[in-house]
Amino acid sequence: MRPFSYQRASDPDMAVRALSAAAAASNPLTKAAAQPLAGGTTLIDLMKLDVMRPAAIVDINSLAQGWSAIEPGSEALRLGALAKMSDVAAHAEIERNYPVIANSLKLAASAQLRNMATLAGNVMQRTRCSYFRDVSYENCNKRNPGSGCAAMDGVNRMHAVLGTSDQCVATYPGDFAQALVALDAMVEITGKAGTRSMPFAQLHKTPGNTPDIETMLQPGELISAFSVPGQWPRSVYLKARDRQSYEFALSSAAVALDVQGGTIRDARVALGGVATVPWRAREAEALLKGQKFDDGLAQRVADAAFADAKGRQHNGFKIALGKRVVMRALQQAVTMEIRS
């Protein structure tokens, strides 16, 4: 960890100003000299590891008053960026109408972390790639552009099989983002020019040739809210992992269905633990629409979801695993009882 200045933002304007002031045009957000601090459970970790070296920290927790509301509505659900993971996970209406959201949060991290961590911080968390998190490894294109990728032919059991490039195969580690991307959520961004919205699915960028650029956010921009259109009581988040709690996904699926009279009207499938970004499996979903569910269909959907997957030495198992997770999540969503 290196010395940094600490500033507490008393309102969004001040936060945006403080964050933009230190921004240099040439740096991507991940290297910006000023970083917002929410729960700190990712940021402080990475600073201690010397991976992130911001010169300034802008504490945005005092914006919580305006930015942490949980507002379920009949048209859309609005979630403040600074709402705590644990509060959203335990919210009765979210449990009822958006089980995929509630469970993606409940199955993430540990109780202590969920009490600290915010939704915005959660979607902005950075990869757990061991080589990225250990600065004694020189070759990491994400941390050190152009230096190579140590994980490509190294210990890559946790790494991605979808959305990879020859520059980086790091997995996007979070859970909640899969629920957002599945449900066509919008993300609200507050910056110098005010507030804008965009589809959450466009927030994260696959690594391509610039793995150091992870999102569409510019330095000086903050996530202020998420909104989720509609209600999805028939939805599931299924997560496979090495231990029963407090562990990142090896593979996960966020599935939401609208089934009427045995026919699937609408279907959403997103994948976690297997891709470089929160991953929407649109081709797979298309196979479900208008169909009656059976195991054969589930298999075809799963195959389609992983049609482009590429395994490396230690993570090839994620393709077969991911398919079974998708199939099981679909089965669970179809058969789940909906409380009305």
Partner 1 sequence: MTAAAPEPKANMGQPVPRYDAASKVTGRATYASDMPLDNPAHAFLVTSAIAKGRVDSFDLDDARAVRGVIDIVTHENAPKLKESKLFSNGGYAGTTIQPLKSADIAHDGQIIAVVIAESYEAAREAANRVKVSYTAVAPSASFGSPGTTTAAAKGQNAQFKEDPQVGDFARAFDEAEVKLTASYDTPPQHHNPMELFTTSCAWMGDNLVIYEGSQYVYGLKNGVAEQLGIDADKVRVVNPYVGGGFGSRGSMTPRTAIIAGIAKRLNRPIKLVPTRDQGFTITTHRAETRHEIRLGASRDGKLVALRHEGAEVSSRPDAYCVGGTKTTTRLYACPNVASLVSIVRADRNTPGFMRSPPEVPYLFALESAMDELAVKLNMDPVELRRINDTTVEPIGGKPYTSRSLMACFDEAAKAFGWSQRSPQPKSMSDGDWLIGYGCAATCYPTQMAPSAARVRLQRDGRTRVEIAGHEIGTGAYTVIAQTAAERLGVPLDKVAVFLGDSELPPAPVAGGSNSTASTCSAVMMVCDQIRQRLFKAVMPSDSLTDKAKETVGLSQAPSTQAAKSDRPLDIEKAFDALGAGVVEEYGEWKPEGAPLDSFKAMHSGHARIVGGHAMKDKIAYAFGAEFVEVRINRFTHEIRCPRLVGAFAAGRIMNPRTARSQLMGGLIWGMSSALLEATEIDQRNARYVNDNLADYLVPVNADVAGVEVILLSEQDDHINPAGAKGLGELANVGTNAAICNAIYHATGQRIRKLPVRLENIEA
Ligand X SMILES: Cc1cc2nc3c(=O)[nH]c(=O)nc-3n(C[C@H](O)[C@H](O)[C@H](O)COP(=O)(O)OP(=O)(O)OC[C@H]3O[C@@H](n4cnc5c(N)ncnc54)[C@H](O)[C@@H]3O)c2cc1C
Q: Which residues bind ligand SF4 (CB under 6 A)?
A: 127, 129, 131-132, 140-142, 149-151, 168-170, 211
Q: Does the footprint of partner 1 cover residue 5 (CB under 8 A)?
A: no
Calpha distance 185→198 (Å, rounded): 9
Out of 35, 42, 86, 130, point to the residue binding partner 1 (CB under 8 A).
Answer: 130
Nearer to ligand SF4, 102 or 151 (CB): 151
Q: How far is CA 143 from the centre of its chain?
A: 19
Q: Does the footprint of partner 1 cover residue 152 (CB under 8 A)?
A: no
> What are the backbone dihedrals phi and psi of residue 281, each rounded to the nearest 5 degrees, phi first?
-100, 75
Residue 226 is inside which H or E element, if any? strand 222-229
Among residue numbers 84 through 113, which ones bind partner 1 (CB under 8 A)? 110
Out of 64, 240, 297, 336, point to the residue binding partner 1 (CB under 8 A).
Answer: 240
Binding-site partner at residue 100 among partner 1, ligand X, ligand SF4, none, CB < 5 to 8 Å by type: none
Whether residue 271 contacts residue 312, with contact meaning beta carbons closer than 8 Å, is answered with no
Give which of 113, 112, 91, 110 is closest to 102, Cα–Cα: 91
Q: Are strands 56-59 and 76-80 parallel, antiparallel or unpaired?
A: unpaired
User: 135: buried, middle or exposed (CB in 10 Å: 19+, 13-18, 0-12)?
Assistant: middle
List the structure tokens of 189: 């961004």
Q: Does the footprint of partner 1 cover residue 242 (CB under 8 A)?
A: yes
Binding-site partner at residue 142 among partner 1, ligand X, ligand SF4, none, CB < 5 to 8 Å by type: ligand SF4
Query: Tokens 């507050």 correspond to what residue?
Result: 190
Binding-site partner at residue 41 among ligand X, partner 1, ligand SF4, none, CB < 5 to 8 Å by type: ligand X
User: 189: buried, middle or exposed (CB in 10 Å: 19+, 13-18, 0-12)?
Assistant: buried
Q: Does the footprint of partner 1 cover residue 310 (CB under 8 A)?
A: no
User: What is the closest distance, in whole angstroms, from the C-beta atom of residue 46 to partner 1 in the complex?
Assistant: 12
Nearer to ligand X, 222 or 301 (CB): 222
x/- string (CB under 8 A) for partner 1, residues 319-338? -xx--xx-xx----------
User: What is the closest distance, in whole angstroms, from the C-beta atom of residue 29 to partner 1 in the complex?
Assistant: 22
Binding-site partner at residue 141 among partner 1, ligand X, ligand SF4, none, CB < 5 to 8 Å by type: ligand SF4
Cβ neighbour number for residue 260 with a 10 Å cutoff: 8
Calpha distance 298→35 (Å, rounded): 43
User: What is the closest distance, in whole angstroms, from the C-beta atom of residue 166 to ligand X in the complex?
Assistant: 26
Dihedral, 242, 246, 251, 253 alpha carbons, nearest 10: 140
Nearer to ligand SF4, 150 or 182 (CB): 150
Q: Which residue in the shown chain puts its C-beta closest to ligand X?
A: 121
Q: 291 to each of 183, 270, 320, 340, how far by Cα in Å? A: 20, 19, 24, 24
Helices (H), 50-133: 64-67, 85-89, 92-97, 99-106, 111-116, 119-123, 130-133
Q: Which amino acid is at 238?
A: L
User: What is the closest distance, in whole angstroms, from the C-beta atom of residue 220 to ligand X in the complex?
Assistant: 10
User: What is the closest distance, in whole angstroms, from the C-beta atom of residue 168 to partner 1 in the complex?
Assistant: 17
Binding-site partner at residue 127 among ligand X, partner 1, ligand SF4, none, CB < 5 to 8 Å by type: ligand SF4
Whether residue 159 contacts residue 170, with contact meaning beta carbons closer than 8 Å, is answered with yes
Binding-site partner at residue 97 among partner 1, ligand SF4, ligand X, none, CB < 5 to 8 Å by type: none
Q: Which residues bind partner 1 (CB under 8 A)?
A: 1-3, 50, 110, 128, 130-131, 133-138, 150, 153-155, 157, 238, 240-247, 250-251, 317, 320-321, 324-325, 327-328
